[in-house]
Amino acid sequence: MNKYSLKFFAYCPENNLRIEYDLQIMLKTKIMAEDLIDAVNLIDRGHHEEIADQLHREFGGLQTLKAYHHGVNIETIREDK
């Protein structure tokens, strides 16, 4: 099992505040660090759950995305079926 984790930023589409995200991906295959960095750098804004869906479609595996949105902790978990 391989585990990848990184932080990235995107803007909230509701009030344009900058949100820090913490992403963790676990999977059996390899992800190139550059591909992961490129993917999150393309995310400019979005709702937390939509960002989680987008990253899971791209990389698969077991993913946890965490962020603190204006006083609310949000954690989404996506996994392959």
pLDDT for 81: 79
pLDDT for 27: 96
Distances (CA, A) of 43 to 2, 10, 36, 51, 67: 23, 6, 11, 8, 15
Amino acid making up residue 43: I
At 13-53, the pLDDT tens digits run 999 999 999 999 999 999 999 999 999 999 999 999 999 99
pLDDT for 61: 97
Mean pLDDT over 3-18 rounds to 96
